[in-house]
Amino acid sequence: MSDSKSLHLTAFMRPVSLHTGAWRYPGSYPDANFNLAHLKSFIKKLEDAKFDAFFMADHLAVLNMPVDALKRSHTVTSFEPFTLLSALSMVTEKIGLAATASTTYDEPYHIARRFASLDHLSNGRAAWNIVTTGNPETAKNFGLDDHVEHSERYKRAREFYDVVTGLWDSFADDAFVVDQESGIYLDPEKMHVLNHKGDDLKVRGPLNIARPVQGWPVIVQAGQSEPGKQLAAETAELVFCSPRDLESAKELYTDIKDRAVAAGRDRNHLKILPAAFIIVGDTVEDAKAKRLRLDSLVNYDSAIASLSIALGTDVSGFDPDGPLPTDLPETNASKTSRAGVLKLAEEEKLTVRQLAQRYGGYSGLAFVGTPETIATDMGTWLDAEASDGFTVVFPFLPQGLDDVTERLVPELQRRGLFRRDYEGTTLREHLGLPRPKNQFFS
Amino acid sequence: MSDSKSLHLTAFMRPVSLHTGAWRYPGSYPDANFNLAHLKSFIKKLEDAKFDAFFMADHLAVLNMPVDALKRSHTVTSFEPFTLLSALSMVTEKIGLAATASTTYDEPYHIARRFASLDHLSNGRAAWNIVTTGNPETAKNFGLDDHVEHSERYKRAREFYDVVTGLWDSFADDAFVVDQESGIYLDPEKMHVLNHKGDDLKVRGPLNIARPVQGWPVIVQAGQSEPGKQLAAETAELVFCSPRDLESAKELYTDIKDRAVAAGRDRNHLKILPAAFIIVGDTVEDAKAKRLRLDSLVNYDSAIASLSIALGTDVSGFDPDGPLPTDLPETNASKTSRAGVLKLAEEEKLTVRQLAQRYGGYSGLAFVGTPETIATDMGTWLDAEASDGFTVVFPFLPQGLDDVTERLVPELQRRGLFRRDYEGTTLREHLGLPRPKNQFFS
């Protein structure tokens, strides 16, 4: 199966579902976000289904929403990514382990070291999702009154990447002689002292851990802003993005890959996996009914506020169970956002309540259908060069995950769109990415 | 078995041995410091022997010694503590997991969160060894030119402790309502926003994880300086120290416990475990011979430099295989240090080479003998109120660990000096420590 013709799939597992109502869905584990036994079973099922990676998003502040929304949110307590993924590395053998770590609120020495350690513990399965941390509340947990400004965050992120990758290259692969007879443990000629002095960071090195099994853990990036796309093009090997539809995905795909080539990189060494919310049903109607049921668990007051923001006008006064009036006043809201809402309302014939709960639940790219229709859609995206696979978002657990691993994946495998077994042992091998050369040693 | 009459034992496992020659000892694993399979087998053996905890020391800089010593050091590469202990938590059920984390080079939000996560993953087995990081080279890996001054480090450490424990108390134990029917996940009245604003730290909170299983992970402290002892007395529940002999241990024990009482604490809620290097032999002579063999693996050039420092005079010109001359010139070296060296040379009739290699290897408190003599010594320390147990340092691995778990521990158990089984499941229960009340919720 040639890499260019098959999908890569990662599971986006934190919060357990991005859907705010998921923990209330019938049969779901309300504490799944914070229950180790469940998380172990999830990752084992994903490995059995040959997923490329298990991807832990993260956040560094609880107070990122009004208290009335917060009290309904299952995101308020969760395991810390490095401790969790390290634990999960012991119950799995092949699946990649991607953790989010902030370049704004952490130190490159710590980040380089932890990913290197996770990569060694897991025999080459670690990936670093570089985030600059957009939530302005985070600053207050780290000694600052105000959030670090966007362009400054991206400038620091770029430098941070240089430092972390430089630290990973502190030792040549054959630096550790370990000769019990002579007593020589290390060849100092094969140790590089980084001595980085940049605008934002000053780090001497070397790192206190051998070079990672993968050379460098896989670099993941999710930014869609201009600096985010540029950072991804220059550094990322796995891009996680949120296009709304096939056309915008194709544009983004081409844009980022072209930028990567302009930066001197091979366009195949950067895999683009849009986030896709997947609901599998016996029929398309069945899948849509599941989605409506899930959406109905979203709190209406919170949801109508989200919808009002998307439309740029207060719609809380309309009849929740009637259709959205078509003669809404023109406002300063983003036209794209507004047009998207109106198109959705029209296409799916949603009431105001249903539309609001869709926006309060999960309103991004979704594949809602049977294993066959979803496999066809995914194949279409792959053929259209709109993606190299998908970052799968499960609607509810465990059933939403089981539906993907037990029903969708076998259908993808039948069509030759997804691997039947891992061909290698490291995440780089799953993704068809080369092991980076050590920049200081040949 | 009443707690006051029995020993607590922890294993000090990083570097794998503090002895610089350990990786060269016959039968040792040269890469044991960095071999997960071995570390798994070590912690399982320690759990089978009912040790209280597995204790990972740490360092944040490689360049803490001259290159000629560095190239002989097995400490240059190792797993990062949180990732390693999280992994090891999955192959054990009862043994405590103590990690070192620096209050000088990390953020309280990160530290609080990681220990809370490790405590949840391990069902209440985490402990935090508070260090202020004495190695001046570390600053250069964290953006600073100069090391943070000693008293400033300890001042920040004390405030850091307040912030971390305050963050652990962010949520009442019953804060998470998780009512699927009503959609209420969290009771906001049971969430505390810390809003800490101190001299060195400003942290809002709350933490993004439920209160740890133990309430607070166990607090460990190793300082022996005046501010170190005071910090231990005010905060520590487990004190790891390095007295040279029984008399100095009794003084230190009484000093720290009296300070704890003066700070309003119960003297039994602070356990003092001196570091003890243990070599078990068939006879006392056999054990001493093992030690000489181990010491002989220390590089002489590095060793003679250590000895010269301890004596305050250059002794590299003496015959390595003769006795240390008794008429050394008076110098400005610490009299205690000098007297210790001379006493050791006299008592054990060591040559200059052997004495140097003892200082270059491990020169702290050691119990070298048979299971019976060591058990007797340990009982004497316990009865004399010189310690509540020991932080065991293994001379070499795996044999030095097997000798302790298979030979010494059974002898201690026969004498009623050590538990035959765990009575509880959390580290606090092993140590006889209470679960701290939440300072913000009753």
Quick one: closest CA in B to A31, which residue? Answer: B178
Q: Is the dihedral of CA B75, B80, B82, B87 positive or negative?
A: negative
Q: Is A296 helix (H, G, I), strand (E, B) or coil?
A: coil
User: Which amino acid is residue A39, in one-letter code?
Assistant: L
A213 within domain boundaries: yes
Which 8-state DSSP code applies to residue A78? -
In this structure, the answer to whether residues B115 and B147 fall within a common structural domain is: yes
Please, are residues B258 and B289 in contact by the beta-carbon 8 Å criterion?
no
Extract the tokens encoding A196: 């980085």
Domain-ending residue, one of B342, B361, B380:
B361
Q: Looking at residue B56, what is its pLDDT? A: 86
Please, are residues B10 and B52 in contact by the beta-carbon 8 Å criterion?
yes
Judged by CB atoms closer than 8 Å, whether chains meet at A113 and B207 is answered as no
A440 within domain boundaries: no
Judged by CB atoms closer than 8 Å, whether chains meet at B86 and A91 is answered as no
Quick one: closest CA in A to B24, which residue? Answer: A180
- Spell A37-70 as b/e; 16+ CB within 10 A means b: ebbbbbbebbbebbbbbbbbbbbbbbbbbeeebb
Judged by CB atoms closer than 8 Å, whether chains meet at B71 and A184 is answered as yes
Q: Looking at residue B18, what is its pLDDT? A: 79
CA distances from A389 to A133, A223, A271 (A): 25, 17, 8
B438 within domain boundaries: no
Q: Looking at residue A189, what is its pLDDT? A: 96
- CA B268/CA A316 separation, integer angstroms: 61
CB-side neighbour CA atoms (13 Å) of B168: 30
Instruction: List chain A residues with CB under 8 Å of B183.
Output: 21, 24, 72, 297, 299
Extract long-range pairs of B321-327: CB within 8 Å, 24+ residues apart.
B321/B351, B321/B352, B321/B353, B322/B351, B322/B352, B323/B349, B323/B350, B323/B351, B323/B352, B324/B350, B324/B351, B324/B352, B324/B355
CB-side neighbour CA atoms (13 Å) of A431: 36
Judged by CB atoms closer than 8 Å, whether chains meet at B87 and A86 is answered as yes
- Candidates B255, B349, B258, B354; CA nearest to B304 is B354
Please, are residues B14 and B53 in contact by the beta-carbon 8 Å criterion?
no
Judged by CB atoms closer than 8 Å, whether chains meet at A209 and B79 is answered as yes
Domain holding B27, by residue range, is 3-281+370-431
- CA B146/CA B139 separation, integer angstroms: 6
In this structure, the answer to whether residues B260 and B298 fall within a common structural domain is: no
Taking each helix axis from N to C end, the angle separating A36-48 and A81-89, rounded to the nearest 10 degrees, works out to 60
In this structure, the answer to whether residues B224 and B332 fall within a common structural domain is: no
- CA A83/CA A206 separation, integer angstroms: 24
Instruction: List chain B residues with CB under 8 Å of A203.
Output: 140-143
A408 within domain boundaries: yes
- CA B393/CA B412 separation, integer angstroms: 17
B58 within domain boundaries: yes
Q: Which of A19, A64, A80, A123 to mutate to test the interface with B (most CBs of B within 10 A)?
A: A80
Judged by CB atoms closer than 8 Å, whether chains meet at B141 and A109 is answered as yes
- CA B328/CA B355 separation, integer angstroms: 15
Instruction: List chain A residues with CB under 8 Å of B209.
Output: 77-80
Quick one: closest CA in A to B37, which residue? Answer: A121
Q: A321: buried, middle or exposed (CB in 10 Å: 19+, 13-18, 0-12)?
A: exposed
Q: What is the mean pLDDT of chain A?
A: 92
B36 within domain boundaries: yes
Judged by CB atoms closer than 8 Å, whether chains meet at B121 and A84 is answered as yes
- Candidates A291, A294, A298, A310; CA nearest to A72 is A298
Q: Is B101 helix (H, G, I), strand (E, B) or coil?
A: strand
Q: Which of A141, A156, A297 to mutate to test the interface with B (most CBs of B within 10 A)?
A: A141
**Distance (Å) from the C-alpha of residue B290 to the closest C-alpha of chain A?**
17
In this structure, the answer to whether residues A375 and A291 fall within a common structural domain is: no
In this structure, the answer to whether residues B252 and B297 fall within a common structural domain is: no
Quick one: closest CA in B to A82, which residue? Answer: B83
Torsion angle of C-alpha atoms B148, B152, B154, B156, degrees rounded to 10: -100
For residue A294, give every residue at least 6 positions away whose Cβ sits within 8 Å of its Cβ, in sequence order, or none. Answer: A19, A21, A22, A25, A279, A361, A395, A396
Q: Which of B34, B67, B86, B91 to mutate to test the interface with A (most CBs of A within 10 A)?
A: B86
Extract long-range pairs of B372-380: CB within 8 Å, 24+ residues apart.
B372/B411, B373/B284, B374/B278, B374/B280, B374/B408, B374/B411, B375/B408, B375/B411, B375/B412, B375/B415, B375/B417, B378/B7, B378/B412, B378/B417, B379/B415, B379/B417, B380/B246
Domain-ending residue, one of A310, A344, A361:
A361
User: Which amino acid is residue B388, in one-letter code?
Assistant: D
Extract long-range pairs of A266-271: CB within 8 Å, 24+ residues apart.
A268/A3, A268/A4, A268/A432, A269/A237, A269/A433, A269/A434, A270/A232, A270/A233, A270/A236, A270/A237, A270/A238, A270/A239, A271/A8, A271/A237, A271/A238, A271/A239, A271/A388, A271/A389, A271/A431, A271/A432, A271/A433
Judged by CB atoms closer than 8 Å, whether chains meet at A183 and B72 is answered as yes
Instruction: List chain A residues with CB under 8 Å of B201.
Output: 143
Q: Is B349 helix (H, G, I), strand (E, B) or coil?
A: coil
- ipTM of predicted complex: 0.95
Q: Which of A78, A79, A83, A173 to mutate to test the interface with B (most CBs of B within 10 A)?
A: A83
Q: Which of B62, B159, B193 to mutate to test the interface with A (most CBs of A within 10 A)?
A: B62
Q: Looking at residue A16, what is its pLDDT? A: 60
- CA A442/CA A437 separation, integer angstroms: 7
Torsion angle of C-alpha atoms A80, A12, A423, A384, degrees rounded to 10: -150
Q: Looking at residue B343, what is its pLDDT? A: 86
Which of A79, A121, A202 is the closest to B79 by Cβ? A121
A314 within domain boundaries: yes
In this structure, the answer to whether residues A265 and A377 fall within a common structural domain is: yes
In this structure, the answer to whether residues A322 and A402 fall within a common structural domain is: no
Residues of chain A predicted below pLDDT 50: 1-3
Instruction: List chain B residues with CB under 8 Å of A187.
Output: 71
Please, are residues B41 and B398 in contact by the beta-carbon 8 Å criterion?
yes
In this structure, the answer to whether residues A264 and A342 fall within a common structural domain is: no
Please, are residues A300 and A357 in contact by the beta-carbon 8 Å criterion?
yes
Extract the tokens encoding A343: 């198109």
Domain-ending residue, one of B361, B384, B414:
B361
Quick one: closest CA in A to B201, which residue? Answer: A143
Assign 3-state DSSP to chain B and report helix, strand, coil percentages, each to 5: 45, 15, 45
Which of A70, A113, A176 is the closest to B186 by Cβ? A70
In this structure, the answer to whether residues B184 and B249 fall within a common structural domain is: yes
- CA B19/CA B90 separation, integer angstroms: 29
CA distances from B413 to A272, B51, B270, B384, B405 (A): 60, 12, 23, 19, 11
Instruction: Please state the domain count of chain A.
Output: 2
Instruction: List chain A residues with CB under 8 Å of B110.
Output: 106
CB pairs under 8 A between A and B: 206
Q: Looking at residue A2, what is its pLDDT? A: 42
Instruction: List chain B residues with CB under 8 Å of A91.
Output: 90
In this structure, the answer to whether residues A342 and A208 fall within a common structural domain is: no
In this structure, the answer to whether residues A183 and A323 fall within a common structural domain is: no
C-alpha angle with apex A46: A41 to A48, nearest 5 degrees?
A: 95
Instruction: List chain A residues with CB under 8 Å of B203.
Output: 140-143
Please, are residues A99 and A56 in contact by the beta-carbon 8 Å criterion?
yes
Q: Looking at residue B15, what is its pLDDT? A: 61
In this structure, the answer to whether residues B289 and B345 fall within a common structural domain is: yes
CA distances from B368 to B288, B396, B408 (A): 6, 13, 11
Which of B30, B83, B137 is the closest to A180 by Cβ? B30
Residue A273, beta-bridge partner list: A240
CATH number at residue A209: 3.20.20.30
Residues of chain B predicted below pLDDT 50: 1-3
- CA A393/CA A12 separation, integer angstroms: 5
A442 within domain boundaries: no
**Distance (Å) from the C-alpha of residue B96 to the closest C-alpha of chain A?**
16
**Distance (Å) from the C-alpha of residue B207 to the closest C-alpha of chain A?**
7
User: Which amino acid is residue B196, in one-letter code?
Assistant: H
